[in-house]
Structure 1
């Protein structure tokens, strides 16, 4: 990946229509289709990225505001499924089937258990797990037991059961994100390949894995922010085929941090030997718990992105195509960052004083939504008539308290 130069610009494109005229929390692009889901009030508006207009609306499933939404990956062509999280303390599953006579969203299933508002929802890369997080300080992991048992996917939203309730955070859990599936790099000899990260009002991020006993455990605590961690995103595409994905976190302390897993060559070799010692059972099978090494991972803060925000950073997004990072927050600023100096050198820094470590501020836009706060920013593929590279060219989408969904063209040279 070539390092970006210092010349970059962010310019507005025509907003999606119609305006929602209500606070909108986020805009979530479908992983493969030209669709964008935006929670607002008690509904979710789905926009077409081809026409930049409303495609459909999900209504009637929640009694209070919908705070979050996520698309389920890997479904059959013509089928869509969304999970939603609401201030009514529930998560919901919705389905759309283009082959049905009534082309409307159906509310299939409500997931209950949280005591307070559900702030985030996220499907694992395989779609087998759904994670939810809440103001009640907990993270719940749900499993589609029908699909896990080999049954074909039905039209009723699946059969979901709670497999874990994680209670180690000391404050509201603001956001959750599953690590991208990177075969050979996300799994360890004594844990599964699925990795979940959670961000909290307690100023920390935690990562979670399922151990060889089928128990979900906290394997690391990332402490460095001085205020609420509003969210996080995994590096979507690591720079080489040996690197574990890094983690991007953003906070009310107005900083954005990059975290890197500390990988020990001796531990990796031991894990390989443990895993290969018996190919027909999980590593550590048959070994008493008291003899097992602690399942623990160490993360270092390897960069703090250059300062661009004066107040809370509500959202940041990392491009899989360009490696660029964009951020937005309560100050209305949109900022763009690139990694690597113009001559291609990456700075080195210690974990105790990481500095920018090669990250540079490339461009900013002030008052992106006028006087309103920007709640979310995401990279998104363009499919509209204004691009000659449909499905390839990237743009930014911002969502704010004004209920306007704004696309932005990004140019670097």
Structure 2
């Protein structure tokens, strides 16, 4: 383990001085959205200082923020999920394409107050209790939200243009038996569409009922649960999809982490080519035919736990993140330890590279994510390429980490 190092970089400033829940990097720009209290602070990853703030939209704690993908650089859109039982849509527009140059090169952040540039354009209502997560799909055409009310809602963008916020509910999924804590859309990778068996989008949800569920849109455009992942012995705090393409365009794997102190890898058992249009249980879109929804058998997929990562954490694992570039996994949680793991791709076995206790001192660490480095401390040739970790904790720090393997 001595050949791998995790070194703290200067924290983003200012310190938020209150518990911070999660930090989400923009898919293409050097921006990071951190949810804390009733607001979201957007940090510049170039200057490591605030770019803008989203305030005044929610009456209770904001727990999650998600960037809408596929927008031009001068247009930003965030979805936020709050304990006030609502999700919000926020938009920010600058004067033009020069905004991209400014945020990539860094500005002093004092030229103008950016807070007024964010507009709270829409409230998504329907959940009966606290929203714990919200996330845009890879296409940006859907938002998924989940709640203490044990449900997952899927919303579809029906706006006439990319700036017209008009969303409608297309599914309410009620199969979990406990609070639904986290959601993850399968990334847009080769192999994720199963020969037309289902719609292209695929969603995973994690719950206090100790399970992960996988959801897909069937041949009748209805969202159905196709798998229940049941090995965990405590609350599943979250899920992540594998972001790096697999050899042979195999379907991305799922990573789950739990209050039982384990991190598990799940792999879809895929049909052979001669199975044609069938899925893992032998029921494809063609098998639905004209059978009414109330009569047809359930579509099922066979997901198998193919690995359990080495035991490191003494208690709940609140967050884990899977690098789409290197395939490394990092985890953290209530014990404050930050750990890094690597897979032997020949054997499928995972090993611990390094563990760092007290990453935020005596405080719990609520979130960890991989992120591109854009700051002036990185080699200019590696800006926007080299990865770092960012942790977010109860101490209000948003802490970057340099990873050397």
Is TM more than 0.5 here? yes
**SS in structure 1 at match of 2:371:** strand
Question: What is the match of residue 321 of structure 2?
Answer: 317
Q: CA deviation at 1:264?
A: 2.2
Query: Among 134, 138, 143, which residue is 1:125 paired with?
Result: 138
After the TM superposition, which residues 388-407 of structure 1 pair with which residues of structure 2 at under 5 Å, given as runs? 388=379, 389-407=382-400
Deviations 1:335-380 (A, max 9, x none): 000001xxx6315xxxxxxxxxx10000011100000000000000
Query: Among 87, 92, 95, which residue is 1:96 paired with?
Result: 92
**SS in structure 1 at match of 2:276:** helix
Q: Please, which runs of 5 or more residues in structure 1 have no aligned partner?
A: 348-357
Would you say how many aligned residue pairs link Structure 1 and Structure 2? 381
- Structure 1 residue 384 and structure 2 residue 366: aligned? no
Query: Among 63, 73, 76, which residue is 1:77 paired with?
Result: 73
Deviations 1:84-132 (A, max 9, x none): 0000000000000012899511100000000110000011100000000
In structure 2, the CA distance between the partners of 1:268 and 1:174, relative to structure 1 (3 Å rule), is farther
In the alignment, is the contact (CA less than 8 A) between 1:190 and 1:284 conserved in 2? no
- Structure 1 residue 116 and structure 2 residue 129: aligned? yes
Q: CA deviation at 1:268?
A: 4.2
Give the Cα–Cα distance (whole angstroms) in 1 for the partners of residues 166 and 30 of structure 2: 28
In structure 2, the CA distance between the partners of 1:292 and 1:87, relative to structure 1 (3 Å rule), is closer
After the TM superposition, which residues 227-266 of structure 1 pair with which residues of structure 2 at under 5 Å, given as runs? 227-265=234-272
Give the Cα–Cα distance (whole angstroms) in 2 for the partners of residues 152 and 284 of structure 1: 36
After the TM superposition, which residues 178-197 of structure 1 pair with which residues of structure 2 at under 5 Å, given as runs? 178-197=185-204
In the alignment, is the contact (CA less than 8 A) between 2:190 and 2:249 conserved in 1? no
Give the Cα–Cα distance (whole angstroms) in 1 for the partners of residues 275 and 376 of structure 2: 49
Question: What is the match of residue 355 of structure 2?
Answer: 364
Q: Which moved more, 1:286-295 or 1:299-308?
A: 286-295
Question: What is the match of residue 340 of structure 2?
Answer: 336
Give the Cα–Cα distance (whole angstroms) in 1 for the partners of residues 156 and 274 of structure 2: 30
Give the Cα–Cα distance (whole angstroms) in 1 for the partners of residues 132 and 350 of structure 2: 30
Question: What is the match of residue 288 of structure 1?
Answer: 291
In the alignment, is the contact (CA less than 8 A) between 2:391 and 2:399 conserved in 1? yes
Q: When the two structures are superposed, what TM-score results if normalisation uses the length of structure 2?
A: 0.90
Deviations 1:28-53 (A, max 9, x none): 00000000000100010000000001
In the alignment, is the contact (CA less than 8 A) between 2:195 and 2:277 conserved in 1? no
In the alignment, is the contact (CA less than 8 A) between 2:277 and 2:286 conserved in 1? no
Query: Among 154, 170, 183, which residue is 1:163 paired with?
Result: 170
Give the Cα–Cα distance (whole angstroms) in 1 for the partners of residues 274 and 206 of structure 2: 27
**SS in structure 1 at match of 2:200:** strand
In structure 2, the CA distance between the partners of 1:144 and 1:261, relative to structure 1 (3 Å rule), is same
In the alignment, is the contact (CA less than 8 A) between 2:4 and 2:354 conserved in 1? yes
Give the Cα–Cα distance (whole angstroms) in 1 for the partners of residues 179 and 307 of structure 2: 26
Question: What is the match of residue 347 of structure 2?
Answer: 346
Cα root mean square deviation, aligned: 2.0
Give the Cα–Cα distance (whole angstroms) in 1 for the partners of residues 150 and 350 of structure 2: 33
In structure 2, the CA distance between the partners of 1:184 and 1:232, relative to structure 1 (3 Å rule), is closer
In the alignment, is the contact (CA less than 8 A) between 1:284 and 1:292 conserved in 2? no
Give the Cα–Cα distance (whole angstroms) in 2 for the partners of residues 284 and 44 of structure 1: 46
